[in-house]
Structure 1
Amino acid sequence: MLTAGIDLASKPSKTAVCVIDWGVEKAAKIEEWERSRWTDERLIEVMSDPSIERIGVDAPFGWPIEYVAAISASSKNGTWPKDGYTEDFGRFRATELNIKELLGATPLSSSLGNLSWVTRRSARLLARQARGEDVESARLGESCFVEVYPAASLKLWGISPADLAEDPGGYKGEKAKAVGRRRNLAEVLVKELESVVNMPPDFVARCEEKGGDDLVDAFVAALVARAMAQGRCEPIPAGPTPKQLKAEGWIRVPCGPSLRDDLISM
């Protein structure tokens, strides 16, 4: 089987894709791992490839339901919800609040700020390519597509740079400390995945280069897609209504704590 990971950005030049072939006898093989001009058309080619069983996408699959309702009502009749005057109104989906409760880390808002542009691109891609499935199923990870959050997955696997004993912090960007953390993370991934994935010899070096954080996230997204295919992602908890889930989507995270266990059939 093949899985893919897409680190989606608003701009094609900052988008990265990784495809892993798990059907190799001894160890899985990275078939494609590239950060370049991933236009919508090129992404649609990957998303429509029938040989790829699961695709993890690092991008929101929906907007907060209260945000959509408020914007719609405002456009239609100029009204605004009475409870909509707080700073956080319409800011987070149920899944983002769940991530915050689960891990103590707050994802970016799918409806506000820079990530809102990524949400728009994600929506138009899913609308064009849901593989015959309805978009609502795709939003829940029940079809080929899975919404993922690499930072949360790394934390659940116990390998997040944010949890390092020395110099904890983020791995995004080109500052020296971020690049160093990214290098350490890449080295950990190579060690953790020994005999599971046949890692390319330049894996660590490519993670260090400019835009290497996007490559890391695409790679992790492909791993989470594999975990989902193996039934090794956490179920959606009770709480959110079916209507809310189908509209907002849900971030699927691996069971953990072992990366290897989430990837290998037991």
Structure 2
Amino acid sequence: MRTVGVDLASQPAKTAICTIEWAGGAANVEALGLGRLNGRILDDRELLAAMRLADKAAIDAPFGWPAPFIRAVASTDWPYPPGSERAQLERRTTDIVVYQRTTKLPLSVTTDRIAYCAMRCAALLTTLSAPRDGSGLAVEVYPDAALRCWLPELFVDNRQSYKTKSNLAARARREQLLHGLLSELGAGFVMSEQQRDDVTHSDDCLDALVCALLARAAALGETVAPDSPEHRDLAAIEGWIHLPRAGSIGRLLSPARGSDTAAFRGDEDSTGSLASAPSR
């Protein structure tokens, strides 16, 4: 199986990508790049080419906008009177679910600059014919929240953010998080020393690596699906952030059920376990 993780930004220079090959109980980080990959700028064409070669891709970017916001901006008359509550226009259902499960609140796609990234993502998803709920080739992820699910012991207090730029403490934090991930993954997971240095020195590279791991988790049915008809309907419109199941980081090197290209389908059987279907 090949998974691709994309830490998407509005511009290629801040976009990072990671490709991992999985086979025989082992995995190898095949490529990792920020701004460029193998000398090529990470523009939309390059990202599409990389994702089309993957069995599953994970993108750190909103896949949609809040349904009430979509209805409001499509209306000829603004449906909310002065003084009315606007929170439902700012956050998607999946944002609230992520906050409830991890205490990490995603950025608002309607009020924050991440909207620029979301517009770029929308063009990529349309070109790939990828559903917003993650049931196709691409799945929406949030690396910061995923790390809290996989490495909860490293988020028990208010520690230095790994996102801070040009900061020795932030670099040490990224090194700590990388060490935690590699310890859970085990000796079968291989990264070069240069790739480890890249992750330590760039939060974008760390996020791209986590995205590629989450793509594997989604392909194995190790991410959490919308758990109600209402959430499934909203996920098709707003997108759905696929958080990893607790402990799943240690199961990523396990062979996929059925075949090594099984992918998350987005529903659960009567026992609560995730069903799977071919990724493409």
Q: Per the alignment, in what secondary structure is the counterpart of residue 89 of structure 2?
A: coil
Of 146, 150, 160, 1:169 maps to 160
The aligned runs of 1:113-262 (5 Å cut-off) are 113-130=112-129, 135=130, 138-159=131-152, 161=154, 163=155, 168-174=159-165, 175-209=167-201, 212-238=202-228, 240-262=230-252
Structure 1: how far apart are the matches of 2:94 and 2:25? 37
Q: Per the alignment, in what secondary structure is the counterpart of residue 58 of structure 2?
A: strand
Would the aligned equivalents of 2:141 and 2:214 in 1 still touch at CA under 8 Å? yes
Q: CA deviation at 1:243?
A: 3.7
User: Aligned in 2, Cα 1:203/1:187: closer, same or farther, shift over 3 Å?
Assistant: farther
Q: CA deviation at 1:238?
A: 1.8
User: Aligned in 2, Cα 1:184/1:241: closer, same or farther, shift over 3 Å?
Assistant: closer
The Cα RMSD (Å) is 2.1
Would the aligned equivalents of 2:20 and 2:28 in 1 still touch at CA under 8 Å? yes
Give the partner amino acid of 1:255.
R
Q: CA deviation at 1:260?
A: 1.0
Structure 1: how far apart are the matches of 2:232 and 2:171? 41
Structure 1: how far apart are the matches of 2:119 and 2:47? 15
Q: Per the alignment, in what secondary structure is the counterpart of residue 3 of structure 2?
A: strand
What is the TM-score of this pair, normalised by structure 1? Answer: 0.86
Q: Which moved more, 1:10-19 or 1:172-181?
A: 172-181
User: Aligned in 2, Cα 1:61/1:160: closer, same or farther, shift over 3 Å?
Assistant: farther
Structure 2: how far apart are the matches of 1:3 and 1:185? 21
Q: Which runs of 5+ in 1 are unaligned?
A: none
Would the aligned equivalents of 1:159 and 1:185 in 2 still touch at CA under 8 Å? no
Would the aligned equivalents of 1:154 and 1:160 in 2 still touch at CA under 8 Å? no
Aligned length: 250
Give the partner amino acid of 1:34.
G
Give the partner amino acid of 1:152.
A
Q: Per the alignment, in what secondary structure is the counterpart of residue 135 of structure 2?
A: coil
Give the partner amino acid of 1:188.
G
Q: CA deviation at 1:54?
A: 0.4
1:44 aligns with 2:48: yes
User: Aligned in 2, Cα 1:79/1:178: closer, same or farther, shift over 3 Å?
Assistant: same
The C-alpha deviation readout for 1:57-99, integer Å capped at 9, x for no partner, is: 11110000100111111xxx23333498324241011100111
Would the aligned equivalents of 2:7 and 2:204 in 1 still touch at CA under 8 Å? yes
User: Aligned in 2, Cα 1:231/1:258: closer, same or farther, shift over 3 Å?
Assistant: closer
Give the partner amino acid of 1:40.
D
Of 64, 67, 70, 1:68 maps to 70
Q: CA deviation at 1:198?
A: 1.0
Q: CA deviation at 1:262?
A: 4.4
Give the partner amino acid of 2:98.
I
Structure 2: how far apart are the matches of 1:83 and 1:169? 40
What is the TM-score of this pair, normalised by structure 2? Answer: 0.82
Q: CA deviation at 1:12?
A: 0.6
Task: Give the share of equivalent positions with the same residue, in percent.
Answer: 31
Structure 2: how far apart are the matches of 1:26 and 1:102? 30
Q: Which runs of 5+ in 2 are unaligned?
A: 36-40, 257-280
The C-alpha deviation readout for 1:111-149, integer Å capped at 9, x for no partner, is: 22111111111001111122xxxx4xx211111111011
Structure 2: how far apart are the matches of 1:160 and 1:197? 21
Q: CA deviation at 1:258?
A: 4.4
Q: CA deviation at 1:105?
A: 1.6
Q: CA deviation at 1:244?
A: 2.2
Q: Per the alignment, in what secondary structure is the counterpart of residue 202 of structure 1?
A: helix
Moved over 6 A (4+): none
